[in-house]
Amino acid sequence: MNVLPSLNALKTFTVVAETLNFTRAAHKLHVTQGAISRQIAGLERELGYALFVRQARGLTLTPRGASLLLPVKQALGTIGEALTRVASQPETLRIKCPTCAMRWMLPRVIQLQNDEPEIRIELTASVSHGVDFGSEHFDAAVIFSDQMEKQRRAYPLFDEILTPVCTPDFLQSKEGVLTPDDLADQTLLHPTRDRRDWLLWLRAAGYNALPSSKAQHFDTLDLAINAALQGFGVAIGDLTLIEDDLRARRVIAPFPLSVATGAAYYLVVRESLSESDKPQPALSRAIEYFMAEAQRSRLTSGRLIEMP
């Protein structure tokens, strides 16, 4: 037999087998006697053999019915225990996040789980800045984009705002108000091969070229920031993503100028099957929390720039 009978039919079989009476079984299952009789008859047809012998004074199990009763009860019990166990476990949210945004996301995910242990979040780092919910098994994703498609469940977190960063003692030999000219003998750490982030900031500062020929290039913003944290040079960093590093003075932003790139970070949630569907409670709480944290970051990150 390739197709298993329905669980409802097997449950009915166990109750009838225990009571050996259609009327009592119907009472226990809160259905009519006729419904019980039809379910057992249908199950017997599906199995291809009789489960009960109908007698004037009640029912008795056939040898095959008696052999089937115990394993069916055990199987239903195992399924019931599994359903109860899974239902009692915290919901696990699977969130994809580009590596550059992990600096901001990871501390807040940990804080949310500490504050609300019933919420579990599985945060997966990725070098890609997109997500395909059709093939990737995530509930949500942090997306970096300069042209976000309009969709019902894309929540804006914060804009990308760039400024140079370095360790507090890296430029300590410089005196007075710093200008890009003070970077002439420094190693510039680039988060991209095309150097576009540094060039964008320099153009806003009135410079048309890089002030230094010394440079190192990285594939992600996070790698460039980590190099700056180790004192290897001056990186160009996003104010919000390095907010915690700035507050702890692991790095400083020595120039008062910051530049918005036009790109932003979004929290994108898997689309539901219908407009009336709402995110699961844990996801709704996570969205609320990350949106509040993003708003706080937008208000405070700019104040952490070192002013002259």
For the chain, residues with pLDDT lower than 50 are 273-276, 307-308
**Structure tokens of 84?**
């109860």
Pairing label, strands 154-165, 234-238: antiparallel
What helix, strand, coil percent values describe the chain, rounded to 5? 40, 20, 35
Same-domain status, 150 and 165 = no
In a domain, 306, yes or no: no
Same domain, 143 and 16: no
Q: What is the pLDDT of residue 187?
A: 93
Strands 140-145 and 91-98: parallel
Question: Which residues neighbour 169 within 8 Å (Cβ) at sequence distance 6 or greater?
Answer: 231
Neighbours of 144 (CB within 10 A): 20
The tens digit of pLDDT for each residue in 24-40 reads 999 999 999 999 999 99
Query: What residue type is 142 in one-letter code?
Result: V
Q: How far apart are CA 34 and CA 295, in angstroms?
A: 62
Tokens describing residue 24: 């009592």
Domain range for 277 is: 91-158+263-300
Confirm whether pTM is higher than 0.75: no
Residues 33, 152 within the same domain: no
**151 in the same domain as 267:** yes
Q: What is the pLDDT of residue 280?
A: 73
The answer to the question of residue 289 being in a domain is yes
Same domain, 137 and 190: no
Pairing of strands 154-165, 259-269: antiparallel
131/154 same-domain check: yes
Q: Which residue has the tokens 């964008």?
A: 200
Domain boundary among 65, 88, 111: 88
Tokens 């979040």 sit on residue = 121
- CATH number for the domain harbouring residue 217: 3.40.190.10
Q: Report yes or no on 19 lying in a domain.
A: yes
The CATH number of whichever domain residue 46 belongs to comes to 1.10.10.10
Last residue within a domain, chosen from 69, 88, 107: 88
> Per the structure, how many domains does the chain have?
3
Residue 53's DSSP bridge partners are 60
Q: Are 253 and 305 in contact (CB under 8 A)?
A: yes
Average pLDDT, rounded, for the chain: 87
- Do 193 and 271 belong to one domain? no
Q: Please, which residues have CB within 8 angstroms of residue 304's CB and are 6 or more apart in sequence?
A: 239, 243, 246, 247, 253
Tokens matching residue 47? 């199995």
Per-residue pLDDT at 174: 65
152 with 269, same domain? Answer: yes
The verdict on 121 and 256 lying in the same domain is no
Query: 196 with 82, same domain?
Result: no
Residues found in the chain: 308
Residue with tokens 């019933």: 118
Q: How far apart are CA 156 and CA 142, in angstroms?
A: 10
- Looking at the structure, tell me whether residues 96 and 186 fall in a common domain: no
Per-residue confidence (pLDDT) for residue 152, from 0 to 100: 55
Whether residues 151 and 273 share a domain: the answer is yes
Last residue of a domain, one of 66, 88, 110: 88
In angstroms, the CA 139 to CA 160 distance is 24
Query: How many Å apart are CA 146 and CA 263, to the nearest integer?
Result: 4
Of 280, 282, 240, the residue nearest 261 (C-alpha):
240
- At residue 298, the pLDDT reads 85
